[in-house]
């Protein structure tokens, strides 16, 4: 057993805040703790602690003379400024993060010995970073893209990083293709166009030659690529991992994050508008939700597969382009993640956090997934470049909450001051410290998998099925979701200039669903190739023509969890609702609706022709949150039009108000109005498309309701908003907006 040493002041979970923002004091191990700047009552000094008398003027030869080279204060300040930007991530550059906690519901000792998954009383600190993949740091949050979903658990056994996405599968099967994939999707190298978009020749050229991407393309072209918010998207570990229990028995596992607000998206046209109105939409949404106390929550789900069932399925568990349908292996919800604190400093925390698939703890181990194995190398190599050297783990946001003892020394940006004569093992001069930890005492031991094989550059034939799960995903979608996929593919391929690439992709799509391919072809003004190309991929010898993919039919016709139509629709917590009003508004109805929505957890804003205050018909002043000049329907989830004779007349004549409503209708949002406000609705384009007679069933399918401000009216409006969108109205009722 290792010799116990005095724990530093930051070595407990209770001190996580101090660990992430430690005070400048020597701890008991002789290490000088790094410190973070707190502006309160601090004297200005240099990075060496020298008090600064004048930070406003450089040292010059005379008051109009040249600046002197000896001005070390100026040089330190400018040098730090010149280097305060670090290289952005190659992928996942644009991100947003938050602190929180994770708590398991009950011990999982049957499948894992990981401590944080076995103590229901323990709150494990976490930091979560969400991101887009393809765009640079300055790109829009609303690009059609995969979203990163990375979670760091600061456990008492070290840091565990669950690095995943909001989609359960990936584009490629082997990490050796990752640079090719990213080079293809990034802006084209000759002109650096387009930014944060996959709708261009190089991406679809690559995809059309890599049919193993077929399944992921269905996800990327679906509404999953346009989440309403980070708080309303699922997360997946993507890879198959192993769980190990105390007896050394292993199980395969797929990790899931299930949002308690449900899984919701925006429309593609809406996403493009949001990118112009507020490119920080997802960042702002996450920040505002946490600041308001509407803490985002997810449940951790596990799909556990006994090791003896490894070859039970028609797909390979090690293939990252495949998922395990929940009908075959149900997801067990085992704990809850809550994000409850925003970062104190974006750069120090969100930007400098260094996630790594190789950060695991006893009880969790890897599988032989070839994409996972390659990424284990990539993450370390990336952090060395991005964060300046091998000591990136000493940055406060990266430090574990347990003390670190090893023989690693020196290097760029070393923070730890190690005492003693020895920095090697074994040694006799330092009591052989630090000592190795036996497995029985919690030391990590890799799973002892028996491997006997030749060295080959090949893939197993079990990886050759590229279309069955792509077909399953498409068949599982609702009709509106299928239409969105067709529209997305038509849009993306419509941006491809090379006709041969378009035709090659139509051949790929035909292998998934011929109806899908036919509709995309029609939108592109093309015909399906008379002789569909072989389902080609790149085999070991590099010759695509030598390889035919294996045709497999899934035993499932559909999988309900794959459709967002089946998500949670019973809450309006943190939904944003706009109340359109003007001078002369009916104050009682505005107050009643706002109170009901706020009580249900919605965020309500009054939108009017001008900022400041409006005067209600009873002369009451109502504070205006935004004018039509700064507000936009795409930033809200639902709309209510207030009553009042003068207010209605003003809104009906206000072009921005009518556009607000038309756009909300176009994007399938809930719209309610006071009886008095029919004049406003009649001024809209969509009023011509509404059924004449309404009942509750009609309201809940159309998402339009006119009535008084009674309790029943407000309750029905809440039910409408909880539906999120009324996609069924989209195709037959498309309107200009």
User: Which one of 159, 165, 166, 535 is the catalytic residue?
Assistant: 165
Mention every residue, 6+ apart, whose C-beta is less than 8 A from residue 574: 231, 261, 289, 292, 294, 601, 602, 603
Is 283 annotated as ligand-binding?
no
Higher pLDDT, residue 348 or 445: 348
pLDDT higher than 60, residue 204: yes
* DSSP letter string, 158-223: EEEEEEEESSSS-S-SSGGGHHHHHHHHSPBTTTTB-TT---SHHHHHHHHT-GGGHHHHHHHTSG
pTM, two decimals, is 0.89
- Name all domains of the chain by residue range, CATH numbers in brackets: 96-383 (2.40.180.10), 480-543 (1.20.1370.20), 572-729 (3.40.50.880)
Q: 191-200, 290-299, 403-412, 637-646: which range is least confident on average?
A: 403-412
CA distances from residue 525 to 174, 198, 521, 548 in whole angstroms, order as listed: 35, 21, 6, 29
State residue 424 phi and psi, 5-degree precision.
Answer: -150, 165
What is the pLDDT of the chain when averaged over all its residues?
88
Is 733 annotated as ligand-binding?
no
pLDDT higher than 80, residue 691: no
530-547: pLDDT as tens digits: 765 544 444 444 444 444
pLDDT higher than 80, residue 34: no
Tell me the pLDDT band of 529, cut-offs 50, 70 and 90.
confident
Is 80 annotated as catalytic? no
Q: Which pLDDT does position 545 carry in this prediction?
A: 41
| Angstrom distance (rounded) from CA 307 to CA 495 | 46
| Angstrom distance (rounded) from CA 472 to CA 553 | 9
3-state secondary structure 456-481: CCCCCHHHCCCCHHHHHHHHHCCHHH
Percent of the chain surpassing pLDDT 90? 68
Is 379 annotated as ligand-binding?
yes
Is 375 annotated as ligand-binding?
yes
Distance of CA 669 to the CA centre of its chain: 23
pLDDT higher than 70, residue 87: yes
Tell me the pLDDT band of 192, cut-offs 50, 70 and 90.
very high
Is 102 annotated as ligand-binding?
no
Residue burial 270-288, b: 16+ Cβ < 10 Å; e: rest: bbbbbbeebbebbbebbbe
566-622: pLDDT as tens digits: 999 999 999 999 999 999 999 999 999 999 999 999 999 999 999 999 999 999 999
Tell me the pLDDT band of 366, cut-offs 50, 70 and 90.
very high
Is 57 annotated as catalytic? no
Percent of the chain surpassing pLDDT 70? 90
User: Which one of 92, 239, 484, 724 is the catalytic residue?
Assistant: 92
Higher pLDDT, residue 411 or 628: 628
pLDDT higher than 70, residue 304: yes
Is 224 annotated as ligand-binding?
no
Q: Which pLDDT does position 597 carry in this prediction?
A: 97
Could you tell me the sign of the dihedral formed by the alpha carbons of 679, 680, 684, 686, in that order? negative
Q: Which pLDDT does position 732 carry in this prediction?
A: 62
Measuring CA to CA, which residue among 694, 654, 711, 699 is closest to residue 677?
654
Element (H, E) at 520: helix 514-524
């Amino acid at each position: 057993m290792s010799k116990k040493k005095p724990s530093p002041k930051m070595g407990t979970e209770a001190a996580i805040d101090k660990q992430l923002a430690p005070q400048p004091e020597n701890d008991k191990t002789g290490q000088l703790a790094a410190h973070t700047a707190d502006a309160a009552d601090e004297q200005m000094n240099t990075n060496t602690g020298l008090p600064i008398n004048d930070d406003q003027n450089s040292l010059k030869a005379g008051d109009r003379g040249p600046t002197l080279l000896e001005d070390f204060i100026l040089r330190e300040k400018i040098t730090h400024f010149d280097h305060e930007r670090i290289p952005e991530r190659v992928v996942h550059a644009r991100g947003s993060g938050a602190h929180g906690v994770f708590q398991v519901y009950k011990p999982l000792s049957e499948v894992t010995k990981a401590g944080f998954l076995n103590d229901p009383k323990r709150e494990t600190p976490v930091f979560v970073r969400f991101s887009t993949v393809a765009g640079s740091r300055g790109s829009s949050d609303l690009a059609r893209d995969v979203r990163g979903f990375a979670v760091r658990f600061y456990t008492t056994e070290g840091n565990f990083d669950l690095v995943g996405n909001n989609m359960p599968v990936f584009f490629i099967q082997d990490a050796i293709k990752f640079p090719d994939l990213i080079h293809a999707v990034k802006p084209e190298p000759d002109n650096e166009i387009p930014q944060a978009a996959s709708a261009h020749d190089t991406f679809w050229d690559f995809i059309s030659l890599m049919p193993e991407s077929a399944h992921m393309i269905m996800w990327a072209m679906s509404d999953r690529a346009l989440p309403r918010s980070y708080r309303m998207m699922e997360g997946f570990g993507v890879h198959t991992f192993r769980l190990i229990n105390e007896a050394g028995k292993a199980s395969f596992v797929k990790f899931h994050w299930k949002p308690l607000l449900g899984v919701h998206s925006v429309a593609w046209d809406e996403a493009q508008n949001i990118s112009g109105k507020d490119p920080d939409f997802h960042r702002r949404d996450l920040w505002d939700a946490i600041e308001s106390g509407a803490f985002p929550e997810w449940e951790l789900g596990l799909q556990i597969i006994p090791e003896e069932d490894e070859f039970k399925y028609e797909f390979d568990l090690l293939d990252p382009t495949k998922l395990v349908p929940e009908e075959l292996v149900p997801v067990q919800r085992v704990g809850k993640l809550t994000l409850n604190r925003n970062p104190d400093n974006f750069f120090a925390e969100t930007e400098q956090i260094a996630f790594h698939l190789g950060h695991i703890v006893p009880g969790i181990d890897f599988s032989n997934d070839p994409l996972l194995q390659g990424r284990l190398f990539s993450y370390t190599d990336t952090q060395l470049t991005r964060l300046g050297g091998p000591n990136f783990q000493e940055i406060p946001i990266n430090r574990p909450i347990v003390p670190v003892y090893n023989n690693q020394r020196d290097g760029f940006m070393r923070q730890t001051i190690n005492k003693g004569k020895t920095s090697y093992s074994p040694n006799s001069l330092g009591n052989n410290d630090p000592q190795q930890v036996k497995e029985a005492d919690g030391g990590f031991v890799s799973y002892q998998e028996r491997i006997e094989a030749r060295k080959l550059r090949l893939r197993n034939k079990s990886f050759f099925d590229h279309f069955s799960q792509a077909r399953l995903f498409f068949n599982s979608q609702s009709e509106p979701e299928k239409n969105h996929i067709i529209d997305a593919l038509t849009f993306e391929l419509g941006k491809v200039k090379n006709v041969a690439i378009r035709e090659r992709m139509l051949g790929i799509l035909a292998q998934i669903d011929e109806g899908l391919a036919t509709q995309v072809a029609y939108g592109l003004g093309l015909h399906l190739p008379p002789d569909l190309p072989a389902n080609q991929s790149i085999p070991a010898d590099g010759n695509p023509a030598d390889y035919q993919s294996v045709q497999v039919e899934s035993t499932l016709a559909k999988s309900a969890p794959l459709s967002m139509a089946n998500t949670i629709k019973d809450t309006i917590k943190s939904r944003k609702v706009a109340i359109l009003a003007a001078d002369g508004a009916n104050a009682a109805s505005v107050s009643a609706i706002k109170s009901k929505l706020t009580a249900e957890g919605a965020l309500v804003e009054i939108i009017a022709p001008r900022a400041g205050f409006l005067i209600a018909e009873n002369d009451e002043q109502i504070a205006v949150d935004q004018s039509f000049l700064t507000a936009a329907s795409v930033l809200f989830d639902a709309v209510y039009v207030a009553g009042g004779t003068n207010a209605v007349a003003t809104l009906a004549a206000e072009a921005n108000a009518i556009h607000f409503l038309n756009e909300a209708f176009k994007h399938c949002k809930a719209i309610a109005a006071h009886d008095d406000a029919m004049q406003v609705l009649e001024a809209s384009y969509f009023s011509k498309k509404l059924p004449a007679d309404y009942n509750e069933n009609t309201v809940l399918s159309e998402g339009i309701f006119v009535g008084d401000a009674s309790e029943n009216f407000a309750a029905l409006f809440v039910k409408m908003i909880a539906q999120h969108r009324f996609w069924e109205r989209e195709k037959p009722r498309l309107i200009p907006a």
